[in-house]
Amino acid sequence: MQGSVKYQYYDSEHTQPEFSSGGFEDYKITDDENGPFCTCALEFEVKGLGDKERKANAKISWTRDLKRAHHKLNFYYDRSPFHSSETANLKICGSGYLKYPKYDLGKVAFLDTIGMNHQVESALKLHFGKDCSTDQKVKIDGQFFTTEEQRLFESKREEPDTPEHYNPYAYYYQTCLKERARGINYGEQCLEYIRLISTVHGYHFHGKFENGWATLGIGGRRLYIPFCGRSQHYSKPVSPMFA
């Protein structure tokens, strides 16, 4: 067996080819007010040498803007048949992104954050099978958002905070005001408050699956992929201000 690993870096003036498999369109992001984009990529190749050569290639790339408000992740996998029952390569192509809202930094600086939009847009699509265009497909569109509990806690940030009714929004907001009264505008407590209000705990999504139920064989193991429907759970992506 032999293999290789490569690391590549692309700035905004040197755009990398996104996929080596035709027919799959990744999500496109372009330069905007958040500054130019850059991309980091890892490429893997493994060959099994013997009576029959077996080969697998994979590539993963991460693209982000200067302010880390827009992120894109691409993934590509291609392997030759591993078993006598397989007649074609297995290919997997994936692309996803996260896009944070544009913040009014003036309001953030003055802690005028109640009612501020923190919704993060996200999407993921995954194509797999004998090719990345006509076989099986999964697509998920979702949003990360602030929960009702978060909004309620923030609305009560000026009320006294007690051990019996602990409210982190009230604690960090009030200690931030004390820091500012001492001339420390962006001390530890103020930065923690900004991180807290820009962290979202809710997520909902809508998923679509095409061309039947999927059972993938990757390196001899089987992965069962069910249909993805609308649901909701909790998560904690970090604010781009602290990424």
Task: Provide mean pLDDT across the span 213-222.
Answer: 42
- Are the C-beta atoms of 30 and 6 separated by less than 8 Å? no
- Are the C-beta atoms of 56 and 79 separated by less than 8 Å? yes
Buried b (16+ CB within 10 A) or exposed e, 47-64: eeeeeeebebbbbebebb
Determine the Cα–Cα distance for residues 88 and 79; give it in Å rounded to an integer. 9
Task: Provide mean pLDDT across the span 81-89.
Answer: 81
Determine the Cα–Cα distance for residues 19 and 61; give it in Å rounded to an integer. 10
How would residue 30 be classed by pLDDT, with cut points 50, 70 and 90? low
User: Any idea which of 67-81, 161-175, 203-217 has the lowest mean pLDDT?
Assistant: 203-217
Determine the Cα–Cα distance for residues 159 and 54; give it in Å rounded to an integer. 66
- Are the C-beta atoms of 118 and 198 separated by less than 8 Å? yes
Please state, as a whole number, how many other Cβ atoms lie within 10 Å of the Cβ of residue 90. 21
* pLDDT > 80? residue 219: no
* pLDDT > 70? residue 135: yes
Task: Provide mean pLDDT across the span 20-36.
Answer: 71
Q: What is the maximum span of the chain, computed from C-alpha positions, in angstroms?
A: 76
User: Any idea which of 29-43, 86-100, 127-141 has the lowest mean pLDDT?
Assistant: 29-43
* pLDDT > 60? residue 230: no
Question: Rounded to 10 degrees, what is the CA torsion of 223, 226, 230, 234?
Answer: -30
Predicted confidence (pLDDT) per residue in 36-57, tens digit: 888 899 999 999 887 777 899 9
Please state, as a whole number, how many other Cβ atoms lie within 10 Å of the Cβ of residue 36. 11
Percent of the chain with pLDDT over 70: 81
Average pLDDT taken over every residue of the chain = 82
pTM strictly above 0.85: no
